[in-house]
Amino acid sequence: MTAAHPGVPGKARSLGRPVLHASAVLPFLRGRERVSMLVGYVLLGIVVVAAVFAPLICRYSPTALNPVAALQGPSATHFFGTDQFGRDVFARTVYAARIDLIIAFSLVGTAFVIGTALGIVAGWAAGVADSVLMRIVDVALAFPFLVLVISIVGLRGPGLLSLYLAVSIVSWVFYARLVRSEVRQLRHAEYMLAAKASDYSTLRVLARHLLPNVIIQPLVYASSDLVYALLLGASVSYLGLGVQPPTPEWGQMVQDGSTFIGAQWWLSFFPGAAIVFTAVAFSLIGDGLAALAREGSAR
């Protein structure tokens, strides 16, 4: 979803089997890298658990208005303080995790699926299909992603659906490009030619041999893309174009609290900190996956 990722170099692989498998999620990494990836999982775990068990964790409801207790600072009862309507900021922050996590995962998920599919088609079929796809990619990349999203969302009308639509129109491009170049590299690998020469149907060849190998890079990319998707969703909501009130969402909460930033800083601080917390979790996991992919292909 962004060109702002530290590049993950693609490597031609000589293996005929997938390098990343479930049991290998932690083993290959050295001490320090393993620890940081573990930390990432733990942090993410905290966020997910908090989101899932929100009603059990929060003493107050995220939408209960309580004007008497408005604008109180963090305390033993209201961990993150209260906002201008007396709502408990902690409860709102925790409940908002649900929305933000869903947004991040679904944005990346859609882009991943569409992009990988189109990338495989373009890379495998080559020719006209490939050229057309690459031109579309060039045009899509010509706009700042946020500008495109804002424009589309704005024109369709604000809301979560518009956000999904706007993002899915463009975000698949990064995955398609990545997958396409992987496919092109692997098309001519020996085991691919061997599989093609056999009686297997094209679909089977693609699914069993091509897919496991080309999927690694986009997976790694996706893990760091989660960070960007999270920030994108929050930014668009901050501008008022995403999630609409009263559904709590971190970006929107930061916006709500912006008028109070001078004295009652906690309204905007904690939701933003939650974003950073979750983003760090995604980053650590993503870095770990990238290191794994590197180690794997080095064997």
Partner 1 sequence: MRRLIARRVAQALPVLVGITVVTFSMVHLVPGNPARALAGQRATPQILASIRHQLGIDKPLLAQYWHFISGLPRGQLGYSFLLHKTTDALVAARLPTTLFLVIYGVLIAITLGVPLALVSAVRKESPLDHGIKGTLVVGLGLPSFWIGLLLIGFLALRLGWFPAGGAGVGFVDHLWHLFLPALTLALSFLAVLVRNLRASLIEVMDTDFVSLAVLKGISRLRLYTRHVLRNALIPAVTIVGLNLSYLLGASVVVESVFSVDGVGNTLVNAVLSRDYQLVQGLALVFGVLVLVITLTVDIIQAGLSPRGEVA
Partner 2 sequence: MTETEPGVALQIRGLVVTGRTAGRTMPILDGIDLDLRSGEILGVVGESGSGKSTLCRAIARRLPSGLTIEAGTIRMGSMDVLRVRPSQLHQMPAGGVRMVFQNPMTALNPVMTVGDQCVEAARARNRMSRSAALARSVEILERMGVKNAASRMKDYPYQFSGGQRQRIVISIALAGDPAVLLADEPTSALDVSTQASLLELIKEISAERQTSVLFVSHNYAVVSQLCTRVLVLYAGQMMELGPSRTLLAESRHPYTSALIASLPSIETRVARLPAIPGQPPAAGQVPDGCPFWPRCPHADDGCDSGPVPMREIAQGHSTACKRAEAIWPTQACRADADGPAPADGQGGDAKFASPEVSP
Q: Judged by CB under 8 A, does residue 164 bind partner 1?
A: no
Closest to partner 2 by CB, 5 or 34: 34
Q: Judged by CB under 8 A, does residue 25 bind partner 2?
A: no
Binder among 227, 229, 291, 292 for partner 1 (CB under 8 A): 227
Helices (H), 188-249: 190-197, 202-205, 211-214, 216-238
Binder among 28, 164, 191, 269 for partner 2 (CB under 8 A): 28
**58, 93 Cβ separation under 8 angstroms:** no
105 to each of 61, 101, 114, how far by Cα in Å? 25, 6, 14
Binder among 4, 22, 147, 298 for partner 2 (CB under 8 A): 298
Q: Judged by CB under 8 A, does residue 30 bind partner 2?
A: yes
Q: How far is the CB of 27 from partner 2 (least distance, A)?
A: 10
First to last CA, the chain: 30
Q: How far is the CB of 280 from partner 2 (least distance, A)?
A: 25
Q: How far is the CB of 168 from partner 1 (least distance, A)?
A: 13
Binder among 255, 256, 291, 292 for partner 1 (CB under 8 A): 255
Q: Judged by CB under 8 A, does residue 299 bind partner 2?
A: yes
Q: How far is the CB of 299 from partner 2 (least distance, A)?
A: 7
Q: What span, in angstroms and rounded, lies between the C-alpha atoms of 24 and 163?
A: 35
Burial class of 103 by CB neighbour count within 10 A (0 to 12, 13 to 18, 19+): buried
Q: Judged by CB under 8 A, does residue 269 bind partner 1?
A: yes
Chosen from partner 2, partner 1, none, partner binding at 258 (C-beta under 5 to 8 Å by type): partner 1
Q: What span, in angstroms and rounded, lies between the C-alpha atoms of 195 and 201?
A: 9
Q: Judged by CB under 8 A, does residue 295 bind partner 2?
A: yes
Closest to partner 2 by CB, 114 or 295: 295
**182, 136 Cβ separation under 8 angstroms:** no
Cis, peptide link before residue 246, omega less than 30° from 0: yes
Q: Which two tokens stand for residue 2?
A: 């962004």
